[in-house]
Amino acid sequence: MKSNERKFEDIFRDAFENAELMPSAKVWERIEREVAKKPRVIIMPRLKQIGIAAVIALFALSTSYFFGYRYFNASNPVAIRNATTQPVVTTTPNTAITQPQGDDQKQAIQNTPQTALTNPNDLIVQPPVAASKNLMAGSANRRTEIIAGSARRNIAASPLVDTQNGKTDANNIATLPLAELQLLPVETHSLNKAPEKVAFVPLLSAEDLPMAKFEASRRGWIGLMIAHNQFSPGFSRVSNAQPTPFIVGQYAEASVFHNDLTDSLFNKNSASLQIDGGYFISRKLAIRSGLAFMRNSYSVNTSAELILPPFLQGSAAKPNSIEINTQMLSVPLQLAYVSQGKFGYLFSAGIAGDFNLSHIINSTRVEGIQYDLGNYKPLNISGLAGIGVSYNFTPHVGIHIDVNYRRSLTSVYQTPHLQAHPQWISLGGGLLYKF
């Protein structure tokens, strides 16, 4: 029987050993078309993905900008931080201001609660040269916290206290609405009779105040961060059918493959490089976004025996190993709670659009096997949350370290039998510029 079998098989092997037949010429034409199509299939989605990513990032940042603009022009309390300009503060044009004529009159004016701008000493009252480094203590600090909105409403009642000869008293700090300082037209006043007697009201910049120094940069931030990711592909089995239509002959059941993907999985180096940005929408809350390039990598040792002919059985003793590399662009959109100071902290949470750039599966020991875990979706949405701390060297420059957890909200593979919700914890840090 055995020799019969041998003979039987030999008949076929011999017959087919050098067998050749000519297929239709159309086969090559179709191959040519398919091969020519390939680059477009690969490149176009990438350009599209990068474009979409850029649009989302721009949208997020511009939206944040408008929130931020409203914040800086509304009735939120802000610290004076005008450091360089010298706007001339004027009264309303065409408003006649009675000039005191004699000493008695001047004295009377000084003793009277002032409800309008006065110029008791024939001085041009100018807001200040901000270069002043006079540190104000106690109540002075508190008084420099100007509420722009209420200051605007109470402008008529805000006394411009006389500061003669540039002397500054903590109790006599003029409190000026920042909005008025910035928005009123610069005009010379008709009282400009004695320019030689110009006196300056020292304006405190927030940076002059020790406590407020590191809260000065409050519009937002931008930075560059690098992170190491502890990556898990998060495979789960949906049914016990073959995981995908592809892994030809490698696995008898999906469960075997699933076990390999969970038990024989080895993480490789995974990292991300991120441009991180944020805009404040209120005193503590900011919209956080950016653009991150991520590379996640892992390998799986397959338990299935290899498909090798008898003469290659020696190498079949080793398990095959497949390595999976994924590269993506990610655009996060998060709400962040930020505490600033020399040492600051941050909590953030939101979603991210992950745009697949490439998804490559390499068989490291056996060639000719086409591994395929199903189609990797071009766009996946992840949920993410993180916590971070920062240390500010200056009001504008600091370092930031944070830990983030993220997980894909949908399966990244389009296959009916296998699901994957990649998740990873990233630990990273970088340099931030605050503005």
Write out the residues near other proteins by the rule CB under 8 A: 1, 4-5, 7-9, 11-16, 18-24, 26-28, 30-32, 34-35, 38, 241-242, 245-246, 248-253, 304-305, 307-310, 312, 362, 367-370
Burial of 218 (0-12, 13-18, 19+ CB in 10 A): buried
- What sign does the dihedral 223-425-233-407 (CA atoms) show? negative
Q: Smallest distance from the beta carbon of 418 to other proteins, in angstroms?
A: 15
Q: Smallest distance from the beta carbon of 410 to other proteins, in angstroms?
A: 26
CB closer to other proteins out of 256 and 401: 256
Q: Could you tell me if residue 249 is left (phi over 0), alpha (psi between -120 and 50 degrees) or otherwise beta? A: left
CB closer to other proteins out of 88 and 308: 308
Q: Would you state the structure tokens that stand for residue 308, as one six-digit string?
A: 């090798």
Q: Smallest distance from the beta carbon of 271 to other proteins, in angstroms?
A: 24
φ, ψ dihedrals at 159, nearest 5°: -75, 130
Q: Would you state the structure tokens that stand for residue 128, as one six-digit string?
A: 């200040």
End-to-end Cα separation, the chain, in angstroms: 88
Q: Would you state the structure tokens that stand for residue 391, as one six-digit string?
A: 């240390």
CB closer to other proteins out of 78 and 366: 366
CB closer to other proteins out of 71 and 251: 251
Contacts of 245 (CB under 8 A, 6+ apart): none
Alpha-carbon distance 40 to 33, whole Å? 12
Q: Smallest distance from the beta carbon of 37 to other proteins, in angstroms?
A: 9
CB closer to other proteins out of 210 and 249: 249
Q: Smallest distance from the beta carbon of 254 to other proteins, in angstroms?
A: 9
CB closer to other proteins out of 36 and 137: 36
Q: Smallest distance from the beta carbon of 373 to other proteins, in angstroms?
A: 14
Measure Cα distances from 139 to 79, 169, 170 in Å: 14, 11, 7
Alpha-carbon distance 326 to 356, whole Å? 8
